[in-house]
Amino acid sequence: MPLALYGHPFSSYTQKALIALYEAGTAFEFRMIGPDTPEHVGEWMRRWPMGSFPLLVDGDQTVAETSIIIEHLQIAHPGPRQLIPIDAAAALEVRFLDRFLDLYVMERVQFAVGASLGRYGAMTAAEGLEMARERLEKAYGWLEVRLAGRAWAAGEDFTLADCAAGTALFYADWTHPIGPGYPTLRAYRERLLRRASFARAIEEARPYRGLFPLGAPDQD
């Protein structure tokens, strides 16, 4: 069976995995999860009842969680770039930044989206957005300092952390604009948008922008 990725082009985490696949130039089959492809939805749910996506299928292995998917790709299908450094200390910084971007940036965006969809009981969309904005502001401040002097998240090389950063900062800026007080972070986001792997994922997702519940801004 060829390598297959179940996901949706507009999903931030699907894009994170796609960036890694495009960086490596790995051949794979994209299996869209959506109303028009119930066979993919059925197979994805059977393999991963947790219901999150993307999901990678590699032969007889089912691999969930994007950070693990990218670690798996690095081991089983390495490309020309080392997305996780061999040096253990350098790898720790990459993995830490990957966690930071997922948990303190992307998760805040998902929270605001969840509130706008009425997922948190009595919490209104405006309250959810306000809460997410406060937390994103803190994350922006922290990243502004951490990224100083770096071309990519963890230094000179494009890594797993940049796969996470691309989509997290893309949607975070839509949710709570990264203000002029964060020039390093803004410049980094711009570099990510120009990176061929992410630029491709952005274009593939463009037709679905209407799905963004907070309203996609006229940018990017």
Ligand X SMILES: N[C@@H](CCC(=O)N[C@@H](CS)C(=O)NCC(=O)O)C(=O)O
**Residue 197 C-beta: closest distance to ligand X, Å:** 17
**Nearer to ligand X (CB atom), residue 12 or residue 175:** 12
**Nearer to ligand X (CB atom), residue 159 or residue 182:** 159
Tokens coding 120: 């948190």
Residue linked to tokens 């709570």: 176
**Residue 13 C-beta: closest distance to ligand X, Å:** 4
Chain residues binding ligand X by CB under 6 A are 11-13, 51-53, 65-66
Determine the residue type at 214.
Answer: L
**Residue 15 C-beta: closest distance to ligand X, Å:** 8
**Nearer to ligand X (CB atom), residue 71 or residue 182:** 71
Q: Are 113 and 121 in contact (CB under 8 A)?
A: no
DSSP 8-state secondary structure symbol assigned to residue 180: T
Q: Are 188 and 194 in contact (CB under 8 A)?
A: no
**Nearer to ligand X (CB atom), residue 12 or residue 197:** 12
Q: Are 151 and 120 in contact (CB under 8 A)?
A: no
Residue linked to tokens 């081991």: 75
**Nearer to ligand X (CB atom), residue 13 or residue 22:** 13
Q: Is 113 exposed, middle or buried (0-12, 13-18, 19+ CB in 10 A)?
A: buried
**Residue 214 C-beta: closest distance to ligand X, Å:** 14
**Residue 66 C-beta: closest distance to ligand X, Å:** 4
Residues in the chain: 220
Centroid of chain to Cα 200: 14
Buried b (16+ CB within 10 A) or exposed e, 37-64: eeebbebbeeebeeeebbbbbbeeeebb
